[in-house]
């Protein structure tokens, strides 16, 4: 029975992955060792699973005896532990939800079923590092997987509407605190017969000036049009990932032009695509290609009532399905252009599910 170390299982991504591991009954087939980077009570762990004791995530002796390590703790843990482990001769599999190892030559960005054949080949060749791709890249490739599989995509223009949870737990906490203060400051104005937007704005502005610690960066009731560090002079890191990771995952020379924006959705990323295809194909054929690529795709008819009901973050949140709609040919741009809109939970296919599927391959050898 393989020994699997799991660090970061309390976090947003890790907790979703743990739920899926329990749901799939992996405990019957693998010995999961729960690791902690801080002093934490076993009582929290016992609420999730029985007969498990927390181990020190920095103890190299414990880590060295593991066959697989899952890191959902973030890039800091990878930088601190991964390279040290390899230097002392650890030969196990490293599964990582962070960006640290993605672009290394000895690391595969795994997104089964998109690159399932490459995943099988990588394991056969002895590749030991498997990283999860950027969340928006994963969700784009899953949404449009059929078109990529048939090598129909020449270039993509994508605008993203990314959830607050994608910014991490601290970002999410800041968002909630600001939402709370905004409500407390503005709620009294909603008791009046007529709502004065100017009064609400003045009250909020006053609160922001008074409470600069909470409102150092305004994320609630706002959009964040620059995500991540600056990769080049005019390019956010998030948008850089959109092209370089797509090319590495697909091993195709696809041009991806992104504008990435964070909005006030909780868990789901939405994306608007303008796709230039390599040839003109009918709308019906496009829908069938997208729908038949995987069992996780749900095509939403391009009609108002279905779009409003199904194609939104509130409806899709928590689902393993990826909702794809607003599929239309563009008469203005040309016959080879198609527009698509997708919504998916970034904590599932954007992070936890790809790890689960690699783990399944390593445990059961199922391809």
Cα 322 to chain centroid distance, Å, stands at: 12
Record the tokens describing residue 294, joined without a space: 């995987």
Reply yes or no: is the peptide bond before residue 133 cis, omega within 30 of 0: no
Q: Is the dihedral of CA 20, 16, 269, 357 positive or negative?
A: negative
Task: Report d(CA 277, CA 307) in Å as an integer.
Answer: 24
Could you count the other beta carbons within 10 Å of the beta carbon of residue 8?
A: 24
Burial 317-332 (b: 16+ CB within 10 A, else e): bebebbbbbebebeee
Record the tokens describing residue 72, joined without a space: 């959902």
φ, ψ dihedrals at 322, nearest 5°: -115, 120
From 72, 260, 268, 269, the catalytic residue: 269
267 is catalytic: no
E strand spans, 198-294: 230-232, 235-236, 255-262, 268-277
Q: What is the DSSP letter of 218?
A: -
Record the tokens describing residue 280, joined without a space: 């003109």
- Residue with structure tokens 């076993």? 42
Q: Which residues contact 217 (CB under 8 A, 6 or more apart)?
A: 174
Q: 129: part of which helix (H) or strand (E)?
A: strand 129-131
Give how far Cα 125 sits from Cα of 105, 108, 222, 287, Å: 13, 12, 47, 36
From 135, 260, 267, 268, the catalytic residue: 135
Q: Which residues contact 278 (CB under 8 A, 6 or more apart)?
A: 151, 152, 153, 154, 336
Q: What is the DSSP letter of 78?
A: I
Q: 142: part of which helix (H) or strand (E)?
A: helix 135-143
293 is catalytic: no
Residues forming the active site:
135, 269
């Amino acid at each position: 029975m393989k020994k699997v170390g799991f660090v970061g299982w309390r976090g947003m991504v890790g907790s979703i992955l743990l739920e899926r591991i329990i749901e799939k009954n992996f405990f019957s087939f693998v010995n999961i060792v729960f690791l902690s980077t801080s002093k934490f009570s076993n009582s929290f762990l016992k609420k999730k699973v029985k007969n498990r004791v927390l181990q020190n995530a920095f103890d190299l002796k414990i880590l060295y005896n593991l066959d697989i390590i899952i890191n959902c703790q973030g890039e800091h843990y990878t930088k601190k532990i991964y390279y040290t482990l390899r230097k002392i001769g650890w030969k196990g599999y490293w599964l990582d939800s962070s960006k640290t190892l993605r672009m290394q030559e000895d690391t595969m960005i795994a997104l089964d079923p998109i690159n399932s054949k490459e995943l099988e080949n990588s394991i056969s060749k002895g590749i030991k590092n498997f990283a999860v791709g950027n969340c928006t890249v994963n969700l784009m490739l899953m949404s449009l997987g059929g078109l990529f599989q048939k090598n129909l995509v020449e270039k993509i223009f994508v605008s993203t509407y990314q959830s607050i949870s994608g910014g991490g737990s601290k970002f999410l906490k800041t968002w909630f605190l600001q939402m709370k203060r905004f409500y407390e400051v503005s709620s009294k104005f909603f008791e009046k017969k007529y709502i004065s937007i100017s009064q609400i704005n003045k009250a909020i502005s006053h609160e922001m000036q008074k409470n600069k610690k909470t409102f150092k960066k305004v994320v609630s009731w706002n959009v964040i049009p620059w995500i991540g560090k600056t990769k080049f002079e005019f390019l956010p890191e998030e948008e850089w990932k959109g092209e370089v990771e797509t090319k590495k995952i697909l091993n195709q020379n696809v041009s991806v032009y992104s504008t990435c924006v964070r909005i006030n959705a909780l868990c789901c990323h939405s994306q608007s695509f303008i796709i230039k295809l390599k040839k003109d194909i009918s709308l019906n054929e496009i829908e069938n290609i997208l729908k038949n690529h995987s069992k996780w795709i749900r095509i939403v008819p391009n009609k108002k009532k279905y779009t409003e009901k199904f194609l939104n973050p509130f409806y899709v949140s928590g689902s393993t399905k990826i909702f794809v709609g607003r599929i239309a040919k563009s008469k203005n741009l040309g016959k080879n252009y198609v527009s698509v809109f997708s919504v998916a939970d970034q904590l599932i296919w954007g992070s936890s599910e790809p790890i689960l599927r690699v783990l399944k391959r390593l445990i059961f050898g199922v391809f």
